């Protein structure tokens, strides 16, 4: 924290600062498009008087006391603020947790990052159908400090880095945009991936040439860990964000813990301590992260909270009050959300399927009462074996019906990290989250 | 050495609404500065968050030339143009009481709806200056009311939106518009599967296919439109533009990130069905021999890239009643749709209304809709309406699509 903050009696207040360093290197068709380092310092200041929250987002982090005092003046002093149910929920952690000092991307020269990207790009030019190869190297290193009027004082670091490749392909009338990306928290996690990239490009060029339109209908579907993770995130994770329960009292009855909501083999977890881009040791109001079961063996067993929602619903904190940056206030968000593993291997999972589809990679997904996933690479499953590549616009289904139709899970769970995209919720887009799961079999889904 | 200087300032006040009550006030002040320099076919960029020191930024931009990022220097002609935004919408001290009073009235009018999300008062100012003598200044204001609606007891994250964006606060007009949606929401309606005119916000109608208008994809032969610039590919009725006109895109900046100004501040992608332009920067336009559309965007410290501000489809009718007489579907919430590489589009529709003669008459069950790119904007494109009497400040377009119950 750049200065010593003086908190006033009669209010709750906290100050969050972030020193964010970012690198973007972008190449397109062999030409350098972008190369920049950005360093930003921002702060978000909150004051609560028991009735209203007052927030300020500032870039002048050297005069935070002045900003804080301005918010105090707008709020109303409350001698009983310490008894407010929201204030009583706040943790008072004191910690310094620097995990990336020995491998900070800030210390790695730009030329070394560019060389890593350059080593990947020739792999995109090995097939003549690729017309526009593009590649990006991206990293982020953040130093967070959080201090509250209750005595919390936390400093920790956060880091991600990765390579994202995309390639437009065209052959005759056939067109397809391929993608590959790998995210990690240390540079060595994204080095030496040439054989993985080459295999992925070959698979996607084969998809361009060989894929056939899907026969629309209801089929058994097998989701890869990527697709299963998106399904968990979109179909159920967002419904576990309990801020959506504050406006409508009847929602609490509808979403009572202990209610059976899914197949008994299904368990979904959100865990801020899981490794990867969704790892946040503390959330943005100073709550320590933890593993939270949202569904355990098919039963609704938890939900995600900020202090405000935990107080309103008289439940415990979960470490899920997150903001995309210091422009915004923390709201209830996921961290790393995944489906827990089962007891099958992949061959056993697809063996009973006479005709169905395997969704390997996806373009995007969303979920309300109905969820949809737009696949990128997908394959037929015929008589228990993988078949031809198929073009599918979307797979969709009712969230709760589909949760009940999950009838097979493989043992191993894969968690994925990304350096582009992220989770969007209303005005706060692009929050880094992780997701994953095992391979998941659903007995019936709508395929278009 | 040629140079451009840009400065942007944004000030906003945002109120959070929970259960129809304002429970937080957020003030944001953000200033950014950018200097771009050009030398020997390359660009150097430097930017800052906070009040810019032009000399310092210029020095850093010069250093960045060493990266060797190729970029043409084309700063356009000398020009002076200034568009200053309108009147103050609401004085800040009156913002909370005015909005809470509006929310109280809305809550009484719509007792079965639970409201949440944000109301924002925004004030933006952008400046562009170049060594070629070009100086542009744009400022504007807007009020955004974006309310998420839960039908009490539905169990859903949200069921519909009530939204309004404008350069004034008109509570009576907003309440009247929202009341019609509320009444229709609680009137069940049904529809047999078939082909129907589908009305939706213009930006959402085109969003899935916008990538096919990007110059890079076009030049790579990977766009559905590749090779068809200057050809008639869509309906005569379709004229599609990027809306940077503050008269309809409230608070918008009238010039792009490279200081380009288009006629009427709405550069055309499609005119009367003819593909007239593609989304480019000065660099990609030069690289691929395409006309530069003037819609670039750029991070404050980065090289300009492809941008698009908002879809404007030239109105073909004065009202929805004229555009879609008889029975039609009004698409309200559709999440999760996409198109295959061949252009077949499909989407689930979580919330839609039945329309009769341009009026919302009832709420339809969840639907699936589909169509094909060239047909949707060719023979199946019906036209567009701006400021229908029932939908003030909305740009709506109508396309015939296959509709079936989910």
**Are A363 and A231 within one domain?**
yes
Q: Can you name the residues that pair with B330 across neighbouring β-strands?
A: B199, B353
Rounded Cα distance, A43 and A18, in Å: 6
**Final residue of a domain: which of A210, A226, A259?**
A210
Q: Which two tokens stand for residue B175?
A: 């309440």
Q: Which two tokens stand for residue B215?
A: 């110059």
Residues of A (281-340) whose Cβ lies below 8 Å from B: 327-329
Q: Of B69, B118, B153, which has the smallest distance from its Cβ to A34's Cβ? A: B69
Residue B298's nearest CA partner among B71, B143, B51 is B71
Residue B341's nearest CA partner among A396, A375, A358 is A375
Average pLDDT over residues B221-240: 96
* A154 CA: distance to closest CA in chain B (Å): 24
Strands A130-148 and A362-367: unpaired
Rounded Cα distance, A47 and B142, in Å: 27
* B23 CA: distance to closest CA in chain A (Å): 5
Cβ separation B342–A56 shorter than 8 A: no
- Per-residue pLDDT at B85 exceeds 90: no
Domain boundaries, chain B: 2-100+114-145, 186-205+315-405
Rounded Cα distance, B235 and B232, in Å: 8
Asked if A263 and A404 touch (Cβ cutoff 8 Å), the reply is yes
Asked if residue A86 belongs to a domain, the reply is yes
pTM, entire model: 0.93
Q: Find the helix or strand (DSSP H, E) in which B59 lies.
A: helix B54-64
- Per-residue pLDDT at B210 exceeds 80: yes
Cα A19 from chain centroid?
21
A59 in contact with chain B, both atoms CB, cutoff 8 A: yes
Best probe of the A interface among B338, B365, B401, by most A CBs < 10 A, is: B338
Asked if residue A83 belongs to a domain, the reply is yes
Residue A56's nearest CA partner among B67, B330, B28 is B28
Best probe of the A interface among B22, B27, B154, by most A CBs < 10 A, is: B27
State the pLDDT at residue A294.
97
Cβ neighbours of B223 in A, within 8 Å:
175
Residues 6+ apart with CB under 8 A from A136: A24, A25, A26, A27, A117, A163, A164, A165, A419, A420
Q: Which two tokens stand for residue A277?
A: 């881009």
A103 in contact with chain B, both atoms CB, cutoff 8 A: no
Q: Is B106 helix (H, G, I), strand (E, B) or coil?
A: helix
Question: Could you say which DSSP state residue A371 is in?
Answer: E
Q: Of A213, A254, A370, which has the smallest distance from its Cβ to B348's Cβ? A: A370
**Are A278 and A197 within one domain?**
no
Q: Which two tokens stand for residue B130?
A: 């170049």
**Are A441 and A402 within one domain?**
yes
Cβ separation A238–B157 shorter than 8 A: yes
pLDDT digits (tens, 9 = 90+) for B382-394: 999 999 988 999 9
**Are A123 and A204 within one domain?**
yes
- The residue assigned the tokens 């009497």 is B389
* A39 CA: distance to closest CA in chain B (Å): 9
First to last CA, chain B: 61
Number of domains in chain A: 2
**Final residue of a domain: which of A153, A187, A210?**
A210
The string of DSSP codes covering B306-339 is -----EEEPP--SSHHHHS-SEEEEEEE--S-EE
Q: Which two tokens stand for residue A69?
A: 């005092």
Q: Of B29, B47, B114, which has the smallest distance from its Cβ to A248's Cβ? A: B114
Cα A196 from chain centroid?
23
How many percent of chain B have pLDDT more than 90? 91
Cβ neighbours of A372 in B, within 8 Å:
335-337, 347-348
Q: Quote the Cα angle for A384-A386-A391, to 5°.
A: 125
Range of the domain at A198: 12-210
A54 in contact with chain B, both atoms CB, cutoff 8 A: yes
State the pLDDT at residue A1.
60
Rounded Cα distance, B352 and B265, in Å: 33
Average pLDDT over residues B114-132: 97
CATH architecture of residue range(s) B2-100+114-145? 2-Layer Sandwich (3.30)
Rounded Cα distance, A366 and A387, in Å: 27
Residue B161's nearest CA partner among B118, B199, B197 is B118
Cβ separation A426–B156 shorter than 8 A: no
B92-109 and B171-185 helices cross at what angle (nearest 10)? 30
**Are A184 and A116 within one domain?**
yes
What CATH number is given to the structural domain containing A93?
3.30.2290.10
- Per-residue pLDDT at B137 exceeds 90: yes
Cβ neighbours of B370 in A, within 8 Å:
393, 448
Looking at chain B, which residue has its C-alpha nearest residue A45?
Answer: B26
- Per-residue pLDDT at B362 exceeds 90: yes
Average pLDDT over residues B7-23: 96
- The residue assigned the tokens 């079999």 is A441
Residue A127's nearest CA partner among A36, A207, A246, A26 is A207
- The residue assigned the tokens 């009838």 is A407
Cβ neighbours of A367 in B, within 8 Å:
335-336
pLDDT digit string (tens) for chain A, length 448 residues: 656 899 999 999 999 999 999 999 999 989 999 999 999 999 999 999 999 999 999 998 989 999 999 999 999 999 999 999 999 999 999 999 999 999 999 999 999 999 999 999 999 999 999 988 999 999 999 999 999 999 999 999 999 999 999 998 989 888 888 999 999 999 999 999 999 999 999 999 999 999 999 999 999 999 999 999 999 998 899 999 999 888 887 778 778 999 999 999 999 999 999 999 999 999 999 999 999 999 999 999 999 999 999 999 999 999 999 999 999 999 999 999 999 999 999 999 999 999 999 999 998 888 777 788 989 999 999 999 999 999 998 898 888 899 999 999 999 999 999 899 899 999 999 999 999 999 999 999 999 8
State the pLDDT at residue A251.
79
**Are A186 and A226 within one domain?**
no
Rounded Cα distance, B343 and B327, in Å: 27
State the pLDDT at residue A252.
81
Best probe of the A interface among B163, B336, B349, by most A CBs < 10 A, is: B336
**Are A417 and A270 within one domain?**
yes
Asked if residue A7 belongs to a domain, the reply is no
Q: Of A40, A132, A427, which has the smallest distance from its Cβ to B118's Cβ? A: A427
Cβ separation B117–A170 shorter than 8 A: no
**Are A322 and A218 within one domain?**
yes
Looking at chain B, which residue has its C-alpha nearest residue A240?
Answer: B157
Asked if A412 and A438 touch (Cβ cutoff 8 Å), the reply is yes
Taking the CA of residue B134 as centre, how many other CA atoms within 13 Å lie in the half-sphere pointing to its CB? 19
Cβ neighbours of B32 in A, within 8 Å:
none
**Are A168 and A290 within one domain?**
no
**Are A232 and A327 within one domain?**
yes
Mean pLDDT of chain B: 95
**Final residue of a domain: which of A182, A210, A238?**
A210
Cβ separation B156–A369 shorter than 8 A: yes
State the pLDDT at residue A148.
98
**Are A83 and A32 within one domain?**
yes
- Per-residue pLDDT at B139 exceeds 70: yes
State the pLDDT at residue A2.
59
Cα B263 from chain centroid?
18
Q: Of A247, A365, A374, which has the smallest distance from its Cβ to B19's Cβ? A: A247
Asked if A153 and A97 touch (Cβ cutoff 8 Å), the reply is no
Best probe of the A interface among B32, B44, B112, B348, by most A CBs < 10 A, is: B348
Tell me the ipTM for this assembly: 0.91
Rounded Cα distance, A211 and B68, in Å: 41
Cβ of B220: how many Cβ atoms within 10 Å?
A: 24
* B131 CA: distance to closest CA in chain A (Å): 23
Asked if residue A239 belongs to a domain, the reply is yes
- Per-residue pLDDT at B374 exceeds 70: yes
**Are A194 and A238 within one domain?**
no
Asked if residue A3 belongs to a domain, the reply is no
In A327-384 the beta strands, taken as DSSP E runs, fall at 331-332, 336-339, 355-359, 362-367, 370-375, 378-382
- Per-residue pLDDT at B381 exceeds 90: yes
Phi and psi at residue B376, in whole multiples of 5°?
-60, -40
Rounded Cα distance, B217 and A125, in Å: 16
The string of DSSP codes covering B190-248 is ---SEEEEEEEEHHHHHHTTGGGGBHHHHHTT-STTTT-TTSB-S-TT--EEE---TTT
Looking at chain A, which residue has its C-alpha nearest residue B16?
Answer: A53
């Amino acid at each position: 924290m750049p200065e010593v903050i003086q908190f006033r009696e009669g209010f709750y207040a906290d100050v969050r600062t972030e020193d964010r360093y970012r690198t973007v290197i972008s190449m397109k068709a062999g030409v350098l498009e972008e190369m920049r380092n950005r360093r930003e310092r921002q702060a978000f200041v909150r004051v609560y008087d028991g009735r209203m929250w007052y927030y300020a987002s500032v870039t002048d982090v050297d005069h935070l006391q002045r900003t804080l005092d301005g918010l105090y003046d707008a709020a109303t002093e409350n001698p009983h603020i310490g008894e407010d149910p929201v204030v009583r929920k706040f943790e008072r952690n004191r910690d310094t947790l620097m995990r990336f000092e020995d491998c900070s991307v800030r210390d790695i020269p730009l030329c070394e990052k560019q060389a890593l990207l350059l080593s990947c790009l020739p792999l995109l030019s090995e097939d003549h159908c690729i017309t526009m190869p593009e590649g990006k190297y991206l990293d982020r290193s953040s130093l967070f400090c959080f201090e509250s009027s209750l005595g919390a004082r936390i400093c920790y670091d956060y880091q991600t880095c990765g390579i994202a490749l995309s390639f437009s392909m065209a052959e005759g009338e056939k067109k397809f945009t391929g993608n590959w990306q790998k995210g990690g928290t240390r540079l060595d996690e994204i080095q030496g991936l040439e054989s993985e990239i080459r295999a992925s490009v070959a698979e996607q060029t084969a998809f361009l040439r060989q894929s056939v339109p899907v026969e629309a209908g209801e089929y058994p579907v097998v989701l890869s860990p990527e697709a299963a993770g998106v399904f968990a995130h979109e179909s159920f994770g967002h419904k576990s964000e309990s801020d959506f329960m504050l406006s409508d009292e009847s929602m609490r009855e509808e979403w009572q813990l202990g209610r059976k909501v899914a197949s008994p083999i299904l368990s979904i977890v959100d865990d801020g301590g899981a490794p990867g881009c969704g790892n946040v040791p503390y959330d943005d109001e100073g709550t320590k992260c933890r593993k939270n079961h949202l569904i355990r063996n098919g039963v609704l067993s938890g939900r995600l909270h900020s202090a405000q929602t935990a107080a309103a619903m008289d439940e415990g904190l979960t470490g899920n009050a997150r903001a995309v940056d210091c422009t915004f206030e923390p709201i209830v968000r996921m961290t790393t959300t995944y489906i827990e593993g089962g007891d099958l291997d992949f061959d056993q999972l697809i063996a009973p399927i006479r005709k169905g589809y395997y969704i390997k990679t996806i373009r995007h997904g969303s979920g309300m009462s109905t969820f949809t996933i737009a696949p990128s690479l997908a394959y037929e499953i015929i008589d228990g074996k993988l078949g031809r590549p198929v073009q599918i616009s979307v797979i969709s289904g009712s969230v709760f019906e589909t949760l009940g139709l999950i009838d097979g899970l493989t043992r191993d769970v894969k968690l994925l990290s990304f350096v582009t995209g992220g989770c969007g919720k209303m005005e706060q887009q692009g929050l880094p989250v992780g997701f994953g799961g095992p391979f998941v079999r659903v007995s019936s889904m709508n395929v278009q | 050495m040629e140079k451009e200087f840009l400065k942007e300032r944004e000030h906003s006040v945002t109120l959070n609404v929970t259960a129809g009550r304002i429970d937080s006030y957020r003030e944001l002040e953000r200033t950014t500065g950018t200097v771009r320099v050009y030398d020997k076919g390359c660009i150097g960029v430097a930017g800052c968050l906070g009040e810019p020191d032009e000399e310092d930024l210029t020095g850093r931009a010069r250093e960045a030339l060493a990266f060797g990022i190729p970029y043409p220097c084309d700063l356009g002609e000398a020009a002076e143009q200034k568009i200053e935004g309108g009147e103050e919408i609401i004085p800040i001290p009156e913002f909370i009481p005015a909005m809470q009073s509006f929310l109280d009235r809305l809550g009484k009018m719509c007792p079965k709806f639970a409201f949440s999300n944000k109301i924002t008062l925004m004030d933006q100012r952008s400046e562009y200056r170049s060594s070629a003598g070009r100086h542009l200044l744009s400022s504007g204001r807007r009020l955004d009311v974006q309310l998420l609606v839960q039908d009490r007891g539905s169990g859903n994250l949200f069921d519909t939106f009530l939204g309004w964006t404008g350069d004034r606060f008109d509570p009576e007009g907003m309440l009247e518009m929202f009341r019609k949606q509320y009444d229709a929401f609680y009137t069940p309606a049904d529809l047999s599967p078939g082909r129907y005119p589908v009305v939706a916000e213009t930006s959402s109608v085109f969003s899935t296919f916008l990538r096919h208008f990007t110059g890079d994809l076009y030049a790579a032969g990977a766009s559905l439109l590749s090779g068809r610039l200057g050809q008639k590919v869509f309906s005569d009725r379709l004229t599609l533009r990027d809306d940077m006109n503050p008269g309809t895109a409230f608070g918008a900046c009238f010039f792009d990130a490279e200081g380009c100004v288009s006629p009427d501040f709405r550069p055309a992608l499609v005119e009367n069905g003819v593909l007239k332009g593609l989304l480019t920067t000065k660099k990609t336009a030069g690289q691929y021999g395409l006309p530069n559309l003037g819609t670039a965007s750029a991070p404050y410290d980065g090289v300009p890239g492809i941008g698009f501000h908002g879809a404007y489809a030239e109105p073909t009718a004065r009202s929805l009643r004229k555009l879609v007489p008889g029975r039609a579907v009004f698409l309200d919430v559709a999440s999760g749709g996409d198109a295959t590489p061949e252009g077949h589009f499909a989407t689930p529709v979580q919330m839609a209304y039945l329309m009769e003669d341009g009026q919302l008459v009832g709420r339809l069950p969840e639907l699936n809709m589909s169509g094909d790119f060239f047909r949707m904007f060719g023979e199946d494109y019906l036209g567009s309406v701006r400021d229908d009497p029932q939908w003030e400040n909305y740009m709506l377009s109508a396309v015939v699509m296959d509709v079936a119950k989910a």
